[in-house]
Amino acid sequence: MTRLLLCSIRVTVTRPEPARVRIGVVDKSKRLPQLRKRARVTRAGRGLMLVGALAKEWGTDHLPWDKRVWAELHGEQRR
């Protein structure tokens, strides 16, 4: 049986430098994300594996009311 969970999230995209993009996702859960080993039988739990493969760095910020999971993508700076 699949259980549907409804939640509210906020997505932010900032550009701290010309060749760097930071993407953040804020939700109300206090539970920290966990990097899981790849499971063959499930489709869930692969988000951080994908983030780790694509991002230069990532982390979690504890906020007073929720948490933010963020990732930074670095590219080449155009002239």
Bridge partners of 19, per DSSP, are none
Angle at 69 between CA 65 and CA 75, to 5 degrees: 145
Q: How confident is the model at residue 45 (pLDDT cuts 50, 70, 90)?
A: low
Alpha helices in the chain (DSSP H): 47-54
Tell me: pLDDT of 72 over 80.
yes
CB contact burial 31-58 (16+ within 10 A = b; e otherwise): eebeeeeeeeeeeeeeebeebeeebeeb
pTM exceeds cut of 0.75:
no
